[in-house]
Chains A and B, each alone.
Chain A
């Protein structure tokens, strides 16, 4: 894996090759392996190593980026040439700021400093044999329950760095281990997934047992009519649906008038029990503490007691917002360290979402026990935006959907299609569990609770 020192030397070589006013290099890459299984067999098993060197040059207010994965002299010469050729023919961007130096990019303050490492040797050291052993244990559980297992066991180590010609250098390394299990019966299925920088936080057998129990418990599912229900969403389901709104918590999205928060910052949009922040330093979070320009990510309170307070800003977006007609309705405007690598048209986005705990968190069991009639949902799938301003989304339930009646789970039901507005959903949260680190398939990892929602709109039922 490329080291900080090696990256620094590559940057020095690039710097010497460039005649641009400013140069920035982003480094990313690592080693990643994934063991995939289906039908109780390992059917795909892959490993890769790569490093990406992405060069941005700026001539005044003209900038462009070129990328390579080769670091020999000729390749570096070519990537610099490509970046400079592309930059020189750009139209000047009046909003482009000079690259930040270390001081103006902010220090990692108390709130945003990572107090714990996210690199664990024991995760980096996982071998194909160890992953195969983990899969064997999952398959053994499947065999015991007479089920078919499918899923992945992956592990990897990554690096990410920013260097620029104003002396800024940033470097972050991290490991990751992930296990996802689907257990299939003749007419039902169950699913669980977990990941962490530290393999000791990922328990393949526990995930497999839970998924297996869901498959067993939802067998011979009944059809229950579509309609509005009280719905208990497990954390992965919450993550995957709410993830669709975070593109809009962006200063650029407000400037472009494509955000559902346009004209709504400062208003109560959700229930009072909803408080959401972006916090890269949260102990259950992962990822690097700086953005695409090397600015440290601040902790930002996005929603407080249902009131949308703030959105995040890259440096240039903040500067532009301060001059714009929207500035008085855009909340607090400051660079928050959430910008994408330049140049880009999307600006920025919060990527380290943390839901605050409820005043009176309830366990999943308690939420079930207090439900007269409702649906318990393991996960949501193929979620897409139907209407952008009410943030209406559609999608399906999947892999473990259950009827709850009189405080008990009464077996599986056929999967539903939902069409639901996130504004409506987050205004009708009756109860929440304590937030946990969760992962899904439709959105990035978050710290989210399970929630009990009233009047959730299932519009159709499918055939299984």
Chain B
């Protein structure tokens, strides 16, 4: 089912963009790798496997601030729960 959807989406992109299939696939691969790389980078930072300096070379200051704010919110949530209420 997922393969069928992917095929349909690829056909749509080829037709809509007026590009050949190989070009669309190459771009999809690049976009996919970039998305996965970013996600892996964030995960590595959150888990302490890479430094703030290292991740700040790949993310904008705003994106990094947002990630840290969400990280801190999640931590506060767990901390609140861990207090005896």
- Answer whether A and B are interacting partners: no
B positions within 8 Å CB-CB of A:
none
